[in-house]
């Protein structure tokens, strides 16, 4: 992946290859600027690679045109960011149901499905609250419910506990693990939180453009 800053090309990584199995939980760690978020954006079809391909099963997602790629993201992927990006003028229920409404799902069905996801994150009682009336941890749980409302094949998360205090981050970490066990989606998380990373099946350190497998004992 190469960016151009002025007349100077900046290569983040090249010849990078990794296989992630269905249902696997993978944590990506590494120094700031190593390309972790860039990798996640490529995996989510949000950035296009300057060369190479990203396959889900046998489908190269970058062989899709933009409308079909957007549909793939909506149906197959869930995203959680460090900044939860909830829309402040909408309730928790409306925020969670938005990916379904964007797909054209009937409002009643979208709301019913959104309420089920809010129940799973322990926030059904807060469904009618707007983000400003929720704590930071509650907002991130709403963001997690929104990411899972379409029952995606894969959840991609960039520092999902980065803005939370230790105790709240632990709550979100456990919740993510429990939901993955229930729904069996694939999880790829970028994190600087090494304790959080130890919860995953596999830890990969992005170092000098290459993934290096890391054992949990190395994070003690």
pLDDT digits (tens, 9 = 90+) for 16-28: 889 999 999 999 9
Tell me, yes or no, whether 74 lies in a domain: yes
Question: Edge to edge, what strands does the sheet with 154-158 contain?
Answer: 77-81, 154-158, 186-190, 25-29, 202-207, 210-214
pLDDT at residue number 207 = 87
Using alpha carbons, select from 135, 134, 144, 136 the residue that is nearest to residue 182: 144
Structural domain contains residue 172: yes
Residue 217 or 43, more confident: 43
pLDDT per residue as tens digits for the range 186-215? 999 999 888 889 989 899 998 888 888 887
Is 2 contained in some domain? no
What are the CA-CA distances from residue 86 to residues 76, 109, 145, 146, 203 (Å)? 20, 21, 11, 9, 29
Residue 53 belongs to what domain range? 13-219
The DSSP letter of residue 216 is G
Q: How confident is the model at residue 35 (pLDDT cuts 50, 70, 90)?
A: confident
Query: Average pLDDT in the 125-142 region?
Result: 95
What's the CATH code of the domain at 209? Answer: 3.40.50.300
Query: What phi, psi does 92 have (nearest 5°)?
Result: -60, -45
Query: Given this model, what pLDDT does residue 10 score?
Result: 61
Residue 149 lies in a domain: yes
Residue 147 lies in a domain: yes
What is the pLDDT, as a whole number, of residue 220? 56
Model pLDDT for residues 68-127, shown as the tens digit of each residue: 999 999 999 999 988 888 999 999 999 999 999 998 999 999 999 999 999 999 999 999
The domain tally of the chain equals 1
What whole-number distance in Å separates Cα of residue 27 and Cα of residue 193? 10
pTM, entire model:
0.89
First to last CA, the chain: 32
137 by DSSP, 3-state: which?
A: helix
**Would residue 5 count as lying in a domain?**
no
Query: Per-residue b/e over 105-114, b at no fewer than 16 CB within 10 Å?
Result: beeeebbebb
* Element (DSSP H or E) covering residue 102: helix 92-103
């Amino acid at each position: 992946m190469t960016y151009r800053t002025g007349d100077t090309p900046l290569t983040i990584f090249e010849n990078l290859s990794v296989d992630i199995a269905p249902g696997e939980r993978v944590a990506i760690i590494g120094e700031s600027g190593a390309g972790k978020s860039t990798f996640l954006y490529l995996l989510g079809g949000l950035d296009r690679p300057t060369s190479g391909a990203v396959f889900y099963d046998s489908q190269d997602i970058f062989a899709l045109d933009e409308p079909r790629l957007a549909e793939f993201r909506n149906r197959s992927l869930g995203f959680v960011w460090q900044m939860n990006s909830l829309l402040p003028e909408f309730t928790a229920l409306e925020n969670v149901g938005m990916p379904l409404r964007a797909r054209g799902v009937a409002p009643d069905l979208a709301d019913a499905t959104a309420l089920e996801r809010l129940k799973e994150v322990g926030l059904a009682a807060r469904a009618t609250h707007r983000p400003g009336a929720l704590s930071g941890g509650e907002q991130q749980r709403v963001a997690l419910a929104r990411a899972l409302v379409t029952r995606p094949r894969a959840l991609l998360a960039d520092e999902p506990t980065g803005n939370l205090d230790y105790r709240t981050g632990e709550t979100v970490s456990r919740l993510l693990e429990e939901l993955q066990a229930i729904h069996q989606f694939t999880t790829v998380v970028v994190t600087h939180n090494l304790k959080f990373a130890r919860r995953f099946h596999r830890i990969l350190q992005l170092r000098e453009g290459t993934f290096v497998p890391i054992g949990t004992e190395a994070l003690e």
